[in-house]
Amino acid sequence: MSKVVRTVAPFGPQHPVLPEPIQLKITCEDEKVVDVVPAIGYCHRGIEKACELNDFPKNIYICERICGICSCIHGCSYCEVIERLFGVEIPPRAKYLRVIWSEMSRIHSHLLWLGLLADAFGLESMFMQFWRIREKILDAMELTTGQRVTQSVSIIGGVRRDIDSEQQKKCIDIVREVKKETEELGKVLMNDYTVKARTVGKGILTREQAITLGCAGPTLRGSDVAEDCRMQGYQAYGELGFEPIVEKDGDSYARAVVRLRETLQSCDLILEAFSKIPEGEISIKVKGNPPANEAVFRAEQPRGEVFYYAKGNGTRNLERLKVRTPTFANIPALLVMLPGCELADVPVIVLSIDPCISCTER
Amino acid sequence: MGIIHTSRIKSPWIMHFDNSSCNGCDIEVLACLTPLYDIERFGIVNMGNPKHADVLVVTGAVNRRTARVLKNLYDQIPDPKMVVAVGTCACSGGVFHNCYNILGGVDKVIPVDVYVPGCAARPEAIIDGVVLALQKLAKLQGVAI
Ligand code: SF4
């Protein structure tokens, strides 16, 4: 019998399905993947160090640019961790506004991902449809913050802008529309033969594996673990009746369904937040330098838990800022999911954890 | 050569490479492809293969690790080629200019034809940048656009 030949196929750093540079060295036997070695570092900039060199208020803008897709939540989280360092509480209206913008960015991120997933298995029309819906949310963001992608809306002590009643009405209309259209398109995603053929039973991550590997976000919730940082009730989530969304199967399909349902849930959260938002101040003045102390903050990004740690030393600069991002927790899961699959399924499975390399490598 | 030159201007294929950007500009580049902005009306198609590309769209500042990859990709694109640097990072390093792993803008490694500033650069600006690059190419080849 002839020996099975092993081939090593590089996946990345420049690859059509990934907008970002990561390399996976995939060892195959025929079409079957037997081993995967990730090579990261293509996106490393040194943001944590840069945050020590700059004044602490300027770091908001650097932290927002850790990742452009979830930039709003990065900015909010940095502000929250500094507020905790100072020990100040922001006005309730600011908390609601942060929730509204965070949820908008979650919708935009999930719709973007659903589109990319469709693109990964060649369903180009669905890619276009999801991105068409997403543009509406970006319009709402532009209307309320002035920017499509990097909003820079949080400041230390609150938020930079208010949403007035006219904008609020427009936003509510947009969110309702987005919800309706996502529901319709979601039916296609859930029932389409092609989608199922490419995702059901592919890239399985069991509940035990997900817990042992410390996964986060939809990857974890797609494997039947009800864990979501929003359950802590930070910002205004405690008042909004939030329930995590869980799917049982742990395959790529389950993860897609989690994200689809979360998109709809985020629409509901925004509508609810708009109905409950209190009047009042949107920011307070925070004076002085960060005290010599430590603070942590955990928030739920579209991709999972993000962890911020800040240490002050009484000067304008921080002693240390540490960010732990969700994709870092999910890459080990990828190494469990990939071996045993077909080479053609690699793009879909890689996408199913929604990798965000610029977050991971900072 | 006439027809090849003319058709290159009418249907340029772009290839997108992300150096070490924050993704903000990448999703705006992708947004250009989608129904609202629809750059296919200019005959522009996004390609994954450098050998098929005419225009290289680069986002993000160059870091020590991507410099080699970027140079490789640039060398693999057949002549004539155009390079569009999208985003403030790609133009000059942007907010990351003083990070230890960042070399600077794309022009530190490869020649750039069009700079599109903005953080994140808006899709309208990106489309404008690609069209400018095409005008430059048309002029170089002496064909009308
Ligand atoms: S220019 Fe701004 S939005 Fe674009 S990649 Fe750089 S930091 Fe991100």
How far is residue B46's CA from residue B33's CA, in Å, rounded to a whole number? 8
Q: Over 80: is that where the pLDDT of B87 sits?
A: yes
The pLDDT tens digits for A213-265 are 888 888 888 888 887 878 777 777 877 777 888 888 888 888 888 888 888 88
Residue A260 included in any domain: yes
Q: Determine which of A20, A51, A126 to mutate to test the interface with B (most B C-beta atoms within 10 Å).
A: A20
CB atoms within 10 A of CB A143: 14
Q: From CA A227, how far away is CA A221, in angstroms rounded?
A: 7
**Structure confidence by residue, pLDDT tens digits, A166-180:** 888 888 888 888 888
Which token pair is B92?
A: 């000059």
Tell me the percentage of chain A whose pLDDT exceeds 90: 0
Chain B residue closest in CA terms to A355: B23
Is residue B123 classed exposed, middle or buried when 0-12, 13-18 and 19+ CB atoms within 10 A define those classes? buried
Token pair 């009042």: residue: A280
Reported confidence tier of residue B130, pLDDT bands at 50, 70, 90: confident
Q: What is the tally of structural domains in chain A? A: 1
Q: Where does A285-325 have alpha helices with state H?
A: none
**Rounded CA separation A272/A356 (Å):** 29
User: Which amino acids bring their CB within 6 angstroms of ligand 1?
Assistant: A 65, 68, 150; B 21-22, 24-25, 59-60, 87-89, 94-95, 119-120
Phi, psi of B119 (to 5 degrees): -135, 95
In a domain, A10, yes or no: no
Whether residue A118 is contained in a domain is answered as yes
On whether residue A19 sits in a domain, the answer given is no
Nearest CA in chain B to A113: B27
For residues B95 and B136, the answer to whether their CB atoms sit within 8 Å is no
**pLDDT band, residue A19 (cuts 50/70/90):** low
Residues A73-94 have pLDDT tens digits of 888 888 888 888 888 888 888 8
Residue A286 within any structural domain of the chain: yes
- Assigned architecture for domain B2-141: 3-Layer(aba) Sandwich (3.40)
Q: Which domain holds residue A124?
A: 45-342+354-361
Whether ipTM > 0.90 holds is: no
Contact with chain A for residue B2, Cβ under 8 A: no
Instruction: Provide the shortest C-alpha distance from residue B30 to chain A (in Å).
Output: 9
pLDDT digits (tens, 9 = 90+) for A103-147: 888 888 888 888 888 877 777 788 888 888 888 888 888 888 888
Q: Summarize the confidence of residues B38-66 as an average pLDDT.
A: 82
Pick from A65, A128, A147: CB nearest B35: A128
Strand partners, B115: B85
- How many residue contacts between A and B have a Cβ separation below 8 Å? 123
pLDDT of residue A166: 85
Whole-number pLDDT of residue A7 = 76
Return the H-helix or E-strand segment holding A173. Answer: helix A165-191
**A82 three-state secondary structure:** helix
Name which of B18, B50, B66 is nearest A19 (Cβ-Cβ).
B18
- In-domain check, residue A16: no
Q: Which two tokens stand for residue A209?
A: 């594996």
Under a CB-based contact definition with an 8 Å cutoff, are residues A246 and A224 in contact? yes
Does the pLDDT of residue A346 top 70, yes or no? yes
- Residue A214 within any structural domain of the chain: yes
- Give residue A342's identity as a one-letter amino acid code: E
Nearest CB neighbour to A128, from listed B16, B23, B34:
B34
Instruction: Average the pLDDT over each of A37-46, A171-180, A304-313 and give the range with the smallest value.
Output: A37-46
B88, closest residue in chain A (CA to CA)? A65
- The CATH number that applies at residue A119 is 1.10.645.10
Predicted local confidence at residue A161, as pLDDT = 83
Average pLDDT of chain A, as a whole number: 82
* pLDDT for the residue numbered A17: 64
Would you state the pLDDT for residue A1? 47
Q: Tell me what the mean pLDDT of segment B82-92 comes to.
A: 87
Strand partners, B58: B17, B85
Mean pLDDT, rounded, for A347-352: 80
Side chain identity at residue A340, one-letter code: G
Strand order in the sheet with A23-29: A6-11, A23-29, A32-39
